[in-house]
């Protein structure tokens, strides 16, 4: 049986989507949560380092943190191109994982995974077997059906954002990262103005969202910004560099503990508990 998004029905896993620069030293609470979700000392974590230009260093860093948090088994998976992402060896590694972590770097490198055999295995295992998948920075924006590839202009326009196909793990959201620190609200508004069906989700550094079913909870130390242009009035100018007219967009600022229902597009304050 298939669901509305073309995937298999079942008990979907959880997604931990991090805005980048997560704490890896002082307790590393976001990564600790990921290890717990993956099975603690029984976790088998695959670290996808495709986005980074320094895969050995990134693997060593995360392996050290995950080991300190109780996970003794972290396997690196570089996937340098489409042939790697379609290979039997890579498929076997992903099939054996209880959790997959996609590192940061340059998200354009992650386009090699889109539509690949590895992409299909991630989708199937996440939806049908509860595979836990996390991503930080570039690995975070790649989780959407559309991912942000770049754009740093200060205005809201078609030229202010570049997008491309993503991994499709969260079809209804478009993720941006390092959000407050790099002033990326114009970029996110540009993206949702170009496609109002998507929710724009901007995640600060050392902050994450834990996605389960049709809702997510905010974790970490920063704020998550949600831009909803579903009922907005959007008027596109003749030129891509000209400003977009945007009326009635809804903006939500969600500190840790808040819950956002993606289906209903509504935010609530969750019960009082630890921020992480």
Which residues are catalytic, by number? 137, 152, 178
Across the chain, how many H-helices and E-strands are there? 7, 17
Q: Are 35 and 132 in contact (CB under 8 A)?
A: no
Strands 224-228 and 199-203: antiparallel
How many of the other CB atoms lie within 10 Å of CB of 186? 18
**Tokens matching residue 220:** 């970490």
Pairwise CA distance, residues 50 & 105, whole Å: 8
Paired sense of beta strands 250-254 and 73-77, if any: unpaired
Q: Which of 61, 174, 178, 79 is nearest to 122 (CA)?
A: 79
What is the helix (H) or strand (E) element at residue 127, kind and residue range?
A: helix 117-129
């Amino acid at each position: 049986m298939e669901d509305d998004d073309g995937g298999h029905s079942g008990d979907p896993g959880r997604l931990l989507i991090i805005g980048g620069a997560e704490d890896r030293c002082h307790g590393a609470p976001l990564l600790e949560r990921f290890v717990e979700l993956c099975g603690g000392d029984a976790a088998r974590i695959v670290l996808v380092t495709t986005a980074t230009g320094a895969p050995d260093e990134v693997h060593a860093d995360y392996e050290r943190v995950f080991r300190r948090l109780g996970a003794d088994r972290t396997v690196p998976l570089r996937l340098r191109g489409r042939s790697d992402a379609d290979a039997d060896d890579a498929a076997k590694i992903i099939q054996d994982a209880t959790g997959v972590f996609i590192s940061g770097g340059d998200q354009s490198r992650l386009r090699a995974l889109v539509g690949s055999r590895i992409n299909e295995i991630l989708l199937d295992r996440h939806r049908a077997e509860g595979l836990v998948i996390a991503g930080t920075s570039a690995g975070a924006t790649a989780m959407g059906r559309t991912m942000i590839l770049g754009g740093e202009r200060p205005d809201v326009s078609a030229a202010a954002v570049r997008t491309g196909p993503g991994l499709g793990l969260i079809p209804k959201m478009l993720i941006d990262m390092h959000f407050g620190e790099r002033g990326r609200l114009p970029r996110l508004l540009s993206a949702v103005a170009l496609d109002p069906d998507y929710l724009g989700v901007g995640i600060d550094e050392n902050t994450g969202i834990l996605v389960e079913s049709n809702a997510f909870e905010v974790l970490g130390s920063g704020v998550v910004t949600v831009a909803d242009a579903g009922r907005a009035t959007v008027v596109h100018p003749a030129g891509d560099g000209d400003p977009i007219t945007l009326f009635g967009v809804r903006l939500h600022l969600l500190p840790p503990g808040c819950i956002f229902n993606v289906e209903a597009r509504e935010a609530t304050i969750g019960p009082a508990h630890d921020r992480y």
